[in-house]
A and B are shown apart, each in its own frame.
Chain A
Amino acid sequence: MLGYNFNHSILFCLYKTLKNIANNAIITITMDSVISILFYVFSFLAIYIQVFFLVTYIEKRKTIIKNPDKLKLKFYPTVTVAVPCYNEEGTITKTVNSLLNLDYPKSKLRLFLIDDGSKDNTWNIIKEFHNGKNIFAFTKENGGKHTALNLALERTDSEFFGCLDSDSLVHPQALKRILSYFERDKETMAVCPSIVVYEPKNFLQKAQTIEYHMSIYNKKMLGFVGGIHVTPGPFSIFRKKVFDELGPYHKAHNTEDQEIALRMQKNGYKIDHCPDAYVYTITPNTVRKLYKQRLRWIYGFIKNLMDYKTLLFKKKYGTVGLLTLPSGIIGVLGVIFLFVNVIYNLSNFIYHKIIQIQTVGFENLFSFNGFNFDWFFFNTKAVIFSSIFMYGLILTSLLIGRKLAENRAKFSMSVFYYLIVYSVIAPFWMLKAALNSIVSKESSWTGERKVKSS
């Protein structure tokens, strides 16, 4: 009786399974067992990161500040917002108008509109806004986004400085909500907004909606634990003294918003996130545009990571070194691994089908001998369960992100678009970015902003 109980106990089953894994790992180091071990490692790390966010959310959810519709600040400091533009004739007017509609004293807000050598009508549009009082328009030779931002930094003495990409629009309350974080905590040196997709039209933009919602959740959680590694171009606001003390923007492989955040983290500057400071960004509407944008982001991440590798796994740099950057590496490697795995399995399947056709022809290729439902043939490997947990945690983070962004937690068709688009296309930009970073082939910011042929 005792033996029977032991045979069916959890410990016994666990022992057996672990023994099998060990057997597979040690005795037969085949391609399949290597894939299997890598799958376990990646899924463990991926689950770890998601659980980390969830635990942080459960612990801190009551401290997430929800600002009133009309917020009043104790002080209204001077703020400069720089808008670098390159070939943005289609969206720049909306962007500037959204800044002009900010609920903030006009005398305290300065706008620097900088044309970075556009080849379209951008300069003619922005110079119309120039008034020499609080709106200043500049044009310069094309030198990259960081040069446009530095031009504004050189000409401002405001207490706060921010940037707004010319394809983004701000919520009227966004600035006040962000500044309230600086008011509450004197140690806060930069605050990131919540970026949401502006009027998503096609399935690609709807898929990105989900990604942006998830990123609101991730960023807020990283903000709680001091782990933010990007201060996004659309409307992150800094104390001006950050630049006075740490220097201006760097080119940073065309991802200056990642580099400045890493530089701040390296120097112990606190970065927070304001979930209800909304910025609406126009997202790529074609696969090609999305691919180019993400290639630049991931390439920038890899290269900046190399530049700031000293942060990795150093406890003195806190969450950025211990969690954020390692999770970025796991993300890139994990997606590439999954992709290679799918290709390996698919080519294996096709190879065997070809052999079958060559051997016995097409006769039995699709014969199922009368399909019988049998649970026996269900794949119940442990990786399947860890994948289910993983997807469960991702969907949870999506729901929380949606709640933070729209104050409602509901699933929509966009979730399927997201899963399809990102599992099919993401591996390509990850792989390409990894390859480009090996040969140091940069992706350009201006390359994403081609002039429309008139």
Chain B
Amino acid sequence: MNNNKKNNWQRYIVVFLITSAIFLTGLWFSGFLDQRRIKQLQNIENTISLDLQSSEIQFSLLEELSCEDISSSTVLSSELNSLAEKLSYSESNIGIENEEVISLKKYYSLLQIKDYLLMKKITERCGEESTFILYFYKNTECQDCTKQGYVLTSLREKYPKLRVYSFDYNLDLSAIKAMIAIYKVEDNLPALVINGEVHNGFKTIEEIEEMVPELKESLKIEEDQTEGEIEDTKEAKN
């Protein structure tokens, strides 16, 4: 009765092709921007790596340089922190299983270890007031790791001298495995290594402050210094 019942298959196919083209363009553009992100991360890591190498060379030449010159030109944690934020974003957006993201994460972990070793040497040699925390976590099935992350972020903001290096326990990287073996870090995560001592399980801000009394002391010294500077300025004005 109704000749409208004739299906226009050609229209269905053309629409399918157009929709696929739109969809694939979206996929391609998204992939293209992800590649740009990865490139940006590579550039940041290369810059940090270069800075680290430069610091290492400076450290080797320590005898000819003053401590002041070295510490001011070493890699800043903020740069590593910003890289960490971007890596974490890439993990959740590009994919935790993405090979390039994993590779970048490995490189980032190596940079952290290098920075840690160098900063430790400089601290010992030049008497810098820095505290180091090595933090081992895992991405899945670890509620306490999320909480520990909040605690460490909060501590880092409170104590600028604190340097936190975080490592994915399950990352297939020999350097991390070596650290796990050296400090005997167990699978019971999160785990913190403070002054060479391993602390398993979640630790609150107060507990960490108790473990590292230097943190509060460094804050006091800083406050005293600031007060002293203010008084000096007042006197100078008078």
A residues contacting B by CB (< 8 A) are 10, 13-14, 16-18, 20-21, 23-24, 27-28, 43-44, 47-48, 51-52, 55-56, 59, 187, 225-226, 267-270, 315-319, 322, 352, 355-356, 358-360, 363-364, 367, 369, 376-377, 379-382, 384-386, 389
Contacts and interface: CB of A to CB of B under 8 A. Distances in A.
B34 interface: yes
Interface of B: 1-8, 11-12, 14-16, 18-19, 22-35, 37, 40, 86, 89, 93-98, 143, 146-147, 150-151, 153-154, 157, 204-205
A322 to B, nearest CB: 7
A28 B96 contact: yes
A355 B1 contact: no
Given A226-B4, A318-B6, A380-B30, A360 B95 contact: no
A379 B33 CA distance: 10
B8 A379 contact: no
A389 B95 contact: no
B23 A47 contact: yes
A386 B11 contact: no
A10 B27 CA distance: 10
Given A352-B146, A380-B30, A47 B89 contact: no
Contacts of A59: 11
B14 A55 contact: yes
A384 B147 CA distance: 30
A268 B1 contact: yes
Given A376-B37, A376-B40, A48 B98 contact: no
A14 B40 CA distance: 19
A51 B150 contact: no
16 contacts: A13-B35, A17-B28, A17-B30, A20-B98, A23-B95, A47-B22, A55-B15, A226-B4, A318-B5, A319-B7, A364-B150, A364-B154, A369-B157, A376-B37, A376-B86, A380-B34
Among B1, B40, B146, the one with the most A-chain Cβ atoms within 10 Å of its Cβ is B1
Contacts of A267: 1
Contact of A377 (B18, B89, B143): B89
Nearest to A388: B26
Contacts of A268: 1-2, 5
Nearest to A384: B30
Given A23-B97, A55-B15, A226-B2, A14 B24 contact: yes
A42 to B, nearest CB: 12
Given A269-B2, A317-B5, A359-B151, A380 B27 contact: no
A381 B30 contact: yes
B4 A270 contact: yes
A269 B1 contact: yes
A360 B14 CA distance: 57
Nearest to A32: B92
A179 B187 CA distance: 79
A44 B93 CA distance: 20
A164 B220 CA distance: 83
Contacts of A319: 4, 7
A13 B28 contact: yes
Contacts, number: 138
B19 A47 contact: yes
Among B6, B34, B89, the one with the most A-chain Cβ atoms within 10 Å of its Cβ is B34
A10 B28 contact: yes
Given A55-B15, A389-B22, A14 B97 contact: no
B15 A52 contact: yes
A246 B28 CA distance: 52
A267 B4 CA distance: 12
A298 B4 CA distance: 26
Contact of A386 (B26, B37, B204): B26
A360 B5 contact: no
B4 A382 contact: no
A28 to B, nearest CB: 6
A381 B34 CA distance: 9
Given A28-B97, A380-B30, A385-B29, A322 B7 contact: yes
Contacts of B86: 376-377
A48 B19 CA distance: 6
Nearest to A26: B97
Contacts of A376: 37, 40, 86, 89
Nearest to B86: A376
A14 B204 CA distance: 45
Given A47-B19, A269-B1, A360-B151, A367 B157 contact: yes
Contacts of B151: 359-360
Contacts of A21: 27
Given A18-B27, A56-B11, A356-B150, 12 more contacts: A14-B24, A14-B27, A17-B27, A17-B31, A20-B95, A47-B22, A47-B23, A359-B150, A367-B157, A376-B37, A380-B29, A380-B93
Contacts of B97: 23-24, 27-28
Given A23-B95, A23-B97, A48-B19, A359 B27 contact: no
B31 A51 contact: no
Given A20-B94, A23-B98, A322-B7, A270 B2 contact: yes
A128 to B, nearest CB: 42
A352 B149 CA distance: 12
Contacts of B147: 355, 358-359
B146 A382 contact: no
Contacts of A187: 1-3
Nearest to A21: B27
Contacts of B12: 52, 322
A358 B148 CA distance: 12
Contacts of A27: 97
